[in-house]
A and B are shown apart, each in its own frame.
Chain A
Amino acid sequence: MELLSGAEMVVRALRDEGVKYIYGYPGGALLHIYDAIFTQDEVEHILVRHEQAATHMADAYARATGKAGVALVTSGPGATNAVTGIATAYMDSIPMVVITGQVMSHLIGEDAFQETDMIGVSRPIVKHSFSVQRPEEIPEIIKKAFHIAESGRPGPVVVDIPKDMTTPTERYEYEYPKSVKMRSYNPIMKGHTGQIKKAVDMLLAAKRPVIYAGGGVIMGDASEQLTALARELGYPVTNTLMGLGGYPGTDKQFIGMLGMHGSYEANMAMHHSDLILAVGARFDDRVTNGTDKFCPTAKIVHVDIDPASISKTIKADVPIVGPAQAVLKEMLDQLHAAKKAPCADSLKAWWEQIEEWRGRHGGRFKTDDSELMKPQQVIEMLSKVTNGDAYVCSDVGQHQMFAAQYYKFNKPNRWINSGGLGTMGFGLPAAMGVKLNFPEEEVVCVTGEGSIQMNIQELSTISQYDIPVKVICLNNQSLGMVRQWQDMNYESRHSQSYMKSLPDFMKLVESYGHVGIKVERYEDLEGAMREAFALKDRMVFMDIAVDPFEHVYPMQVPRGSMRDMWLSKTERT
């Protein structure tokens, strides 16, 4: 058996796990591991400019592929800088393995240089964490970390490695385990057949059904099964922010995103439904609005891999614990076996109602005479120019909602955004993580002039590794979503939501060797965007001036029901 040092074992285990890229930043506690990285070329290390970006790159890779991304950060500040990225992945159930350096074992607890109790700091935002106590454990711990991160309800796992566990001169027998078994961790592999039968009966009997599908469909690789089931039944489908692309966005059965900034028809259909089939969604507060007024006439079938997500905020009538793919497949099989179809007349009437809602608020935004471009127009153009086929990595704010509403995602894993935590600064490193792994695909970062500045240092990483992402910056010179809330709830007192002293983004990106394109008029938009995407090998930053007064609508009225929405600045349901 081969003898390796702890440091070499870390790198070798990653290789044996099939990891191609790791994203990280070196530091004292990691020097042995970085030396082990230097002496091989199978695992490529991407040097970011801030550890947060490393975690977002790893996270976005996971969102695009379903496989755990890997970040490597040093002890102390390196680890704490990664915290936001870990929390981002945790909230959206994204598999990720974060290896953190730690001070020497004998110094732990002595407030040593660059010491942080990373196991403690990260405890509430990880699926699990490991602290290496003996170098021989490293292969098994890394195998377990990947197993835990990727199986069941996915999530980030931290592996904290004290420096003395990686000493180059101390060698141990290395063997990477093919699989691991843990008596205390056995993710559920299939749903309960009896419960699925109940659900199928209810689905067939429903008169006003809605399928409400979330991120579990994306991470659970169940988009195909969801689409098949929905088409078989002919039922309307709404996606959560995390679930976009789980059902084809241009399909006529798709009624848009639901929730706080969901479509009028999706929220109306939810409110008036008599049966909700929730799949891989968690009835988050941004979806349900006031839980006491939530969908008063609906029975709820809730499919989720995490039992704790079921009946947490909204009580399920039929809970089904299991992976979305297996459960939906069994539903389809049972449906075929039942040889029954839903009541055609009820369904026809339901669709007529939905189409009426769809027609009533179909346009959603108005262009006016002003020269200012509407942000929605930019996203529509992006959808057109990229044929709805790009990986769209978003930052957080109004532009994120516009992208969710107006970009038509037809494939899963292509809409990459921080839905749960709402992490500004996520978009650019996320786009980098995706582009690096999918060099042939169009990868776009939709951002605003606020969010982009939260990780703008990564323009330098893009230069170093030649990662030609396209940045679509909707520049409204303000923190748009904050400003919108201030308009709606604080009599337009725009406290700290206006950014003075914005950089000249053109000069800034050019200084890193990238291409900047500024667009101020709608007439120029399509040409400029096509020009940007034609520059296949270059990173292009499009600084697009948009109407600073635009709001995102619909917007649910706080603590109301699903159907209580503002539809424009003056119109309310």
Chain B
Amino acid sequence: MRHIISVLMENEPGALSRVVGLFSQRNFNIESLTVAPTEDETLSRLTVTTVGDDRVVEQITKQLNKLIDVVKVVDLTEGDHLERELMMIKMKANNGTVRAEIKRTADIFRGTIIDVTPNTFTVQLVGSSSKLDAFIEALGTSNIMEVVRSGVSGIARGEKVLTL
């Protein structure tokens, strides 16, 4: 099963490499990973999506917790949560039909065209990973020139927070 694991950690040099190293060292899988400082600049928030059975995910959270730089770990998929990923997708758009088609599909998915040239469109789309997958599928791969995705960020619904 797919899990979204959120990690609050010290914003220290080397902390990220310890997390990434742990995954490869212990043969855990990483589907996506994002990291950035929080409002408290001494802390970073890292979100990793991974696939594994309960035993593996239990090990992942326990091993992450063991890292000295890690302050807190939570498996967001255990409760109600929101996930978002940002995608920028550059497509060949060199005739009216294709341009119209891309525009219409982007509207349906509530995407925004953020760059336009005579031959290309770049669409920005925010949503769950599966929504982004569905958008790519709806467009068909033939016109896609480049896809860049941010990786998943997640947050718990309601009053639950991951903080010090």
Footprint of B on A, CB under 8 Å? Answer: 119-120, 123-124, 127-129, 131, 133, 148, 182-185, 306-308, 311-312, 315
On whether the beta carbons of B66 and A306 are closer than 8 Å, the reply is: yes
Task: Pick 20 A–B contacts, CB within 8 A, sort by A.
Answer: A120-B17, A123-B17, A123-B21, A124-B21, A127-B68, A128-B69, A129-B14, A131-B13, A148-B68, A182-B68, A183-B164, A184-B10, A184-B69, A184-B71, A307-B62, A308-B62, A308-B65, A308-B66, A311-B55, A311-B58
On whether the beta carbons of B9 and A184 are closer than 8 Å, the reply is: yes
B59 adjacent to chain A (CB < 8 Å) = yes
CA distance A307 to B65 in the complex (A): 9
CA distance A315 to B62 in the complex (A): 14
On whether the beta carbons of B14 and A131 are closer than 8 Å, the reply is: yes
Also in contact, A308 and B17, with CB within 8 A (given A184-B9, A184-B70, A184-B71) = no
A162 to chain B, nearest CB (A): 13
Q: Which 5 A-B pairs have the closest CB atoms?
A: A308-B62, A128-B68, A184-B71, A124-B25, A123-B21
B63 adjacent to chain A (CB < 8 Å) = yes
B92 adjacent to chain A (CB < 8 Å) = no
- 1-51 of chain B: CB within 8 A of chain A: 9-10, 13-14, 17-18, 21, 25
Q: Which residues of A contact B10 (CB under 8 A)?
A: 184
| A128 to B, closest residue via Cβ | B68
The secondary-structure label for the interface of chain B is helix
Q: Which residues of B contact A129 (CB under 8 A)?
A: 14
Footprint of A on B, CB under 8 Å? Answer: 9-10, 13-14, 17-18, 21, 25, 55, 58-59, 62-63, 65-66, 68-71, 164
Q: Which residues of A contact B71 (CB under 8 A)?
A: 183-184
CA distance A161 to B58 in the complex (A): 36
Q: Which residues of A contact B63 (CB under 8 A)?
A: 308
On whether the beta carbons of B14 and A119 are closer than 8 Å, the reply is: yes
Q: Which residues of B contact A124 (CB under 8 A)?
A: 21, 25
| B64 to A, closest residue via Cβ | A308
A200 to chain B, nearest CB (A): 25
A259 to chain B, nearest CB (A): 22
CA distance A312 to B26 in the complex (A): 12
Q: Told that A120-B17, A184-B10 touch, could you supply 11 new A-B pairs with CB distance under 8 A?
A: A123-B18, A128-B68, A129-B14, A133-B13, A183-B71, A184-B9, A185-B68, A308-B59, A308-B63, A308-B65, A315-B55
Q: Which residues of B contact A148 (CB under 8 A)?
A: 68
B144 to chain A, nearest CB (A): 36
CA distance A100 to B21 in the complex (A): 21
Q: Which residues of A contact B70 (CB under 8 A)?
A: 184
CA distance A182 to B12 in the complex (A): 13
Q: Which residues of B contact A119 (CB under 8 A)?
A: 14
| B58 to A, closest residue via Cβ | A311
CA distance A148 to B68 in the complex (A): 9
| B22 to A, closest residue via Cβ | A124
CA distance A127 to B63 in the complex (A): 11
Q: Which residues of A contact B68 (CB under 8 A)?
A: 127-128, 148, 182, 184-185
Among A124, A184, A307, A312, chain B packs the most CB atoms within 10 A around the CB of A184
CA distance A123 to B55 in the complex (A): 24
Among B9, B66, B69, chain A packs the most CB atoms within 10 A around the CB of B66
Q: Which residues of A contact B13 (CB under 8 A)?
A: 131, 133
| A185 to B, closest residue via Cβ | B68
CA distance A127 to B164 in the complex (A): 22
